[in-house]
A and B are shown apart, each in its own frame.
Chain A
Amino acid sequence: MQERLRIHHGIGSRVLLDSARDGVSYEWSPDGSGHVFHVHIEPGPILDEILRLRRELNVFLFRDDENGATIEKQWFYTGDREPWYDSDTGTLTLVSSRTLTYHPGDFES
């Protein structure tokens, strides 16, 4: 199973970053009762747009099967703390206090 980080605009779901598509590396780990993401990204239009829309982001981990089909999505709430960028380390940090996991076809009975 492959995992990738996706950051969407929360208003209409425009994809701002796809770690696989954009060649961006990241780490994520538990942080207190939530999670923290460190995204290694160079300054540029992708970063600019994420920071411009930082209060309206949907942050996901997509998990894909060997054929590339997404079989699970994990969504992270980042509304408690705005993302920030450290230009010295080239790291975008996102902090999440809540996560929900779901699958294609959920809630369609």
Chain B
Amino acid sequence: MIDVRRKSDRFYAESDWLQSRFSFSFGPYNDPNNTGFGPMRVLNDDSIAPKRGFGAHPHSDMEVVSIVLTGSLRHQDNLGNVGVTSWGQIQRMTAGNGIIHTEYSDSDSETLNLLQMWFVPDQAGLEPSYEISAFDVDALGQAWVPVVSKTGAAGVAKIHQDMTIYLTELAAGEARDYDALPGRRTFVFMIHGSASLNGEIQLDERDEARIEDVTDLSFRAVQPARIMLIDLP
């Protein structure tokens, strides 16, 4: 089954400094029929005004992954971590048994656009931790590049869940296949551009697809495309 959710289908929230689209129930958006996809619990597409952001707040028992698309994200927490993340980097925070942090746009002029995702960890009560990893942006045009995985590696952030986040980029007309393992879920998010999926579905910018029981996936770019694909239990 391929469940396509268009950008316009997602819940939209805005304030004077924040514009956000929620893929799953979050805050004021409370749909008991849309609370997650496997261990994936949150995907917020946030645009944050320069120097604005989220003041001190707690998290627990959640793996929080942030991918910055434009601008830069400044993080500080009660563990003493301070980090600034931009495109080409991944921020991973293990909330575990409790962490307090802030998240702000670090730019004086540029809007911060980030994808923030929360995943239920495979174990509760973990020791809180924080990591910034850097992936090879130039490699995105060649393959599905893992940027987050359970095992971690050089350039791959380590997450406490049996899952992998991949990024790739396609030139117009270029194709790339992905073979999912049987029994796994696949979540696809069209970050930029557009592409056809298995020749039958077109995913445009910020559309998503939640895929189960389909293992052979073939993408062909209609326009230059940047795609995030997540392999999930």
Interface residues of A (CB under 8 A from B): 10-14, 58, 73, 75, 77, 79-80, 97-98, 100, 102-109
Contact = CB atoms under 8 A, between A and B. Distances in A.
23 contacts: A11-B118, A12-B28, A12-B29, A12-B42, A13-B27, A14-B28, A58-B58, A75-B100, A77-B60, A77-B97, A79-B97, A79-B125, A80-B125, A98-B98, A100-B98, A100-B100, A104-B56, A106-B78, A106-B102, A107-B56, A107-B76, A108-B102, A109-B76
B59 interface: yes
Given A14-B28, A108-B102, 11 more contacts: A12-B25, A12-B28, A12-B42, A13-B57, A58-B60, A73-B56, A77-B98, A79-B124, A80-B125, A102-B56, A103-B56
Contacts of B37: none
A108 B78 contact: no
Interface residues of B, number: 28
Given A79-B97, A104-B55, A11 B102 contact: no
Interface of B is mostly: strand
A100 B60 CA distance: 12
B118 A100 contact: no
